[in-house]
């Protein structure tokens, strides 16, 4: 499915008019889905996804949707109902240093909850300056699901986004973009409400990597 998707993505990119807008990855996925050539797999599985191995790399965010790691194109936290049918737990998080997540430690992920994040050039700036601070994060949705995962010791899949430089033939130059790597299963160990860099209240989660999984060298991936 990923091979078909990447071929369609390249074809659309090559033939696309400069004035056209919209995400090429979404267009490629929607076309192939409509044609019945790919089927978006269910992401409601708690734990490992069959066919996806630790260390698998993905060029585009929607590829996570296609293989069933994460069902959202943009949101960082994916959730599902637990076995009791009463609570939502987290199934997967997509971490990215541009969103103030700390992803370089091979065994510990510091993940900032959803909501209250600025957009644009302030994201990822260690000394951001804004005229007004972002809204406070709330303990609901994905944030509440991550807390429930902590309480029930439910494993969470972790995908890390990292910047790479890729040659863009159409532009004739190297461009920086985000690619993704599946880093395996983690357990949520702590949840702390605190003031973030933007002076708004955030939820900071610490996730520890489950033992017995292959090691991932993020620096090697970036190279």
Distance CA 164, CA 175 (A): 8
Angle made by CA atoms 48, 189, 78, in degrees to the nearest 5:
45
Closest CA relative to residue 221, chosen from 161, 173, 168, 167:
161
C-alpha distances (whole Å) from 16 to each of 10, 26, 63, 140, 177 are: 10, 14, 21, 40, 19
Q: What is the model's pLDDT at position 209? A: 97
Segments of the chain with pLDDT less than 70? 117-132, 167-173, 219-223
Q: What is the model's pLDDT at position 128? A: 52
pTM listed for this prediction? 0.85
Pairing of strands 156-168, 88-96: parallel
Q: What is the model's pLDDT at position 120? A: 43
Q: Which domains does the chain have, with CATH numbers?
A: 1-39 (no CATH), 41-222 (2.30.280.10)
Q: What is the model's pLDDT at position 121? A: 43
Q: What is the model's pLDDT at position 123? A: 47
């Amino acid at each position: 499915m990923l091979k078909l998707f990447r071929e369609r993505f390249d074809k659309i990119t090559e033939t696309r008019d400069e004035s056209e807008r919209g995400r090429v990855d979404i267009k490629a996925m929607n076309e192939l889905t409509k044609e019945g050539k790919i089927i978006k797999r269910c992401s409601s599985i708690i734990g490992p996804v069959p066919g996806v191995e630790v260390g698998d790399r993905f060029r585009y965010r929607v590829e996570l949707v296609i293989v069933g790691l994460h069902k959202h194109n943009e949101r960082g936290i994916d959730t599902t109902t637990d076995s009791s049918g009463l609570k939502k737990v987290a199934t997967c998080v997509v971490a990215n240093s541009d969103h103030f997540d700390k992803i370089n430690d091979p065994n510990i992920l510091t993940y900032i909850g959803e909501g209250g994040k600025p957009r644009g050039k302030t994201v990822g700036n260690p000394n951001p300056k804004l005229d007004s601070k972002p809204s406070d994060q709330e303990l609901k949705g994905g944030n509440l699901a991550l807390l429930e995962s902590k309480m029930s010791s439910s494993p969470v899949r972790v995908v890390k986004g990292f910047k790479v430089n890729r040659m863009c033939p159409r532009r004739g130059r190297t461009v920086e973009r985000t690619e993704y790597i599946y880093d395996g299963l983690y357990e949520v160990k702590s949840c702390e409400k605190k003031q973030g860099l933007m002076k708004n209240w955030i939820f900071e989660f610490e996730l520890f990597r489950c033992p017995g999984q292959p090691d991932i060298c993020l620096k090697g991936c970036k190279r």
